[in-house]
Amino acid sequence: MNGGIIRAVTATLKHRLFLLLAPLLSGGILVFGFPRWSSDLAVWLWLLPLLAVLWPANSEQGFNHRDHGETQRLEKNSLWSSVTSVVKSFLFRSGFLPGFLAGLAFFIPNLAWVRHSSRVALGGAMDDSWVGWGPELMGFAAVIGLSGYCAVYFGLWAWFTQRFARPNVITLTKDSWQSSTLHSLWCAFLAAAAWVACEWLRSTTVFTGFGWNGLGVAMHRNLVLVQAADLVGVMGLSFLPVFAACTAWNTLTRFFLAYRGKGTCKSRLDFTVALILMLTTAGYGMLKLGEKRTDDIKVRTVLVQPNVAQVDAWTGRLAESIYERLNQFTRMYAAAKNGKSSTDLVIWPESALPVNLNDKFQQLPEGWHTKYFDDLLHSGDFSLLTGTELHDEDGKAHVSAVLFHGNAANHQDYHKVHLVPFGEYLPLRDIPPFSFLRGVLPGDFMPGEMTEPLRLAKPEVQIIPLICFEDTVGRVARKFVREAPQMIVNISNDGWFLQSAETEVHLANALFRAVELRRPMVRATNTGVSCFIDTHGRITSQLSDPETGTSFLEGTLPGEVNVPRKPVMTLYARFGDWFALTMLGVVSVTTLWKRKEWLPKAGIPTTAF
């Protein structure tokens, strides 16, 4: 008898260990779908271990099992006790916990580069060398905090998927093939819809959201499949791998139970439907990639990458040499030769100027910037776009892009509209615990209010100016789209993150703006990656060392941008995140529809509401 008890306890422990390790395995696999690995298989396979927990073949397994006696006891409790119990159930007995664990296993290594921002800001870090307990601990806390926040949406998805989208094993394995197939497709559709909805919520809620590295981004090297982003956006692309994984899991469940003699249905039509959806998406992509344009405007462009460490930019000790190098790089390509300039547009990155353009703190002799830009711009017939800070007369500061042509007085300004929380402003700065960070961020930048394109004088092309992380936010970029020749220009300074994977991750998230809007894109960055991207998301030219391949270097990248003279207005440009919002609506309606069924099981009588 004791042996039986020991075996039962051992089996229970093994099962619980599996319930914890499988989600961690899922998150770990997904890590390899993004830079620096960018595995094409990871995005299709990562979900299977997590589904083994959320949709187990044995209906009595999983996190949501509760005995009948416990449910009866909960129903007799007070409303407060019932609410407490449902919170505990949500966290520890529902699918939320395995989803949250999978999210942590993914985001902690995926966002490890975030730690450098605190190390640079507080400790003056220039590499991975130790800079003191304070900066190192704050950097670690930033990674854990941001990863924990992002992992919540994985948990919400897992909770919904287990509660409302979990297939009935009997219907799946013993009913007719028609009923089994339709049931599987509906459950897979709900799970995929919930994933897209959660990605949209993550990218929009809580301090303007943080939408980096959705599943669609993991397909950044698959040019055929990503072309559909011009219809549904990059978040809409995330539907496909979740739908495919869920139908594949249901197919495996049928075969597994049939092999064990517990099921009779072996239909795989649902997985075939998923494959057809993938082939349809691929077919659309091949049609888009095969399109040929003949009526383009060529914009001769030079990208300048200063590669200035953030610490050096702060101290100002290299200000003179930085201004001189910017001047030399620009004249090298843009200065007129035989009365003609071979360049139309020179782009300097965000924070390129060692001193803000207004010289707010009077660091330079009076009129220094005016003379500097007049001399430079008089050297040829070209436009110059640079990032800087601009200060209003009332003292408000903006992160800005300034487009010059001809002289210093002739310029157009754009103020960044989508600011980075805890980087460019401090949310709830007078409320603890946020108020404790006022010493780190003593003042806030103010967001701009206009989303008007900047206009080149020669040739007549509009510029969609995106500063820093704005190039990762599709709903911001689309506001600049007009029915006119346009090119996207991103100016960034990723020097805060040293020589980490952040520059590659930033690029992978950014290139989807070119596909979504069908506008060519250039990126001029301080430390990389500076590059040219065509309307299909292909990186046509990139600044890197030819021997080592590193993008962390000083240099310039000249090239031509082929701007469509009559660009299309894509479905995404017109309607934005319509697909993600539709999926959010489906999930919301499903949750409300099944509320009466779910609340009693959670221990809350429906009469309480």
CATH code of the domain containing 397: 3.60.110.10
Q: In what order do the strands lie in the sheet with 539-542?
A: 454-455, 462-467, 486-492, 521-525, 531-533, 539-542
Domain that holds residue 354: 296-424+441-565
Whether residue 221 is found in the same domain as residue 272: yes
250 shares its domain with 387:
no
Q: State residue 482 phi and psi, 5-degree precision.
A: -135, 160
Question: Could you tell me the pLDDT band of residue 85, with boundaries at 50, 70 and 90?
Answer: low
Count CA atoms closer than 13 A to 502's CA, side-chain side: 22
For residue range 305-336, what is the model confidence (pLDDT) as tens digits? 999 998 888 777 889 999 999 999 999 999 99
CA 504/CA 552 separation, integer angstroms = 11
Task: Label residue 51 exposed, middle or buried (CB < 10 Å: 0-12, 13-18, 19+).
Answer: buried
Q: Is the pLDDT of residue 487 over 50?
A: yes
**pLDDT for the residue numbered 431:** 79
Task: Clarify whether residues 269 and 372 are in a common domain.
Answer: no
Query: Is residue 502 domain-resident?
Result: yes
Write down the pLDDT at residue 75: 46
Q: Is residue 3 part of a domain?
A: no
Nearest to 493 by CA among 309, 259, 254, 222: 309
- Is 244 in the same domain as 351? no
Whether residue 143 sits in one domain with residue 85: yes
Indicate if 193 and 333 belong to the same structural domain.
no
Statement to judge: residues 307 and 270 lie in one domain: no
- With a cut of 50, say whether residue 536 has pLDDT above it: yes
Whether 51 is covered by a domain: the verdict is yes
342 and 480 within one domain: yes
Pair 274, 313 in one domain:
no
HEC readout, 438-488:
CCCCCCCCCCCCCCCCEECCCCCCEEEEEEHHHHHCHHHHHHHCCCCCEEE
284-302: average pLDDT: 94
Residue-level length of the chain? 609
Residues 26 and 127 in one domain: yes
Residue 389 is predicted with a pLDDT of 94
Whether residue 571 is contained in a domain is answered as: no
Residues 126 and 223 in one domain: yes
One domain, residues 115 and 246: yes
Spatial separation of the C-alpha atoms in residues 370 and 350, rounded to whole Å: 19
Q: Considering the entire predicted model, what is its pTM?
A: 0.92
pLDDT beyond 50 at 609: no
The answer on pLDDT for 550 being more than 60 is yes
Q: Phi/psi of residue 607, each to 5°?
A: -70, -15
Domain membership flag for residue 236: yes
The answer to whether residue 6 is domain-embedded is no
Instruction: Let me know if residue 542 belongs to a domain.
Output: yes
* Domain-embedded: residue 73: yes
The fraction of the chain above a pLDDT of 70, given in percent, is: 90
Report the domain count for the chain. 2
Instruction: Specify whether the CB–CB gap between 557 and 130 falls below 8 A.
Output: no
pLDDT digits (tens, 9 = 90+) for 377-396: 999 999 999 999 999 888 88
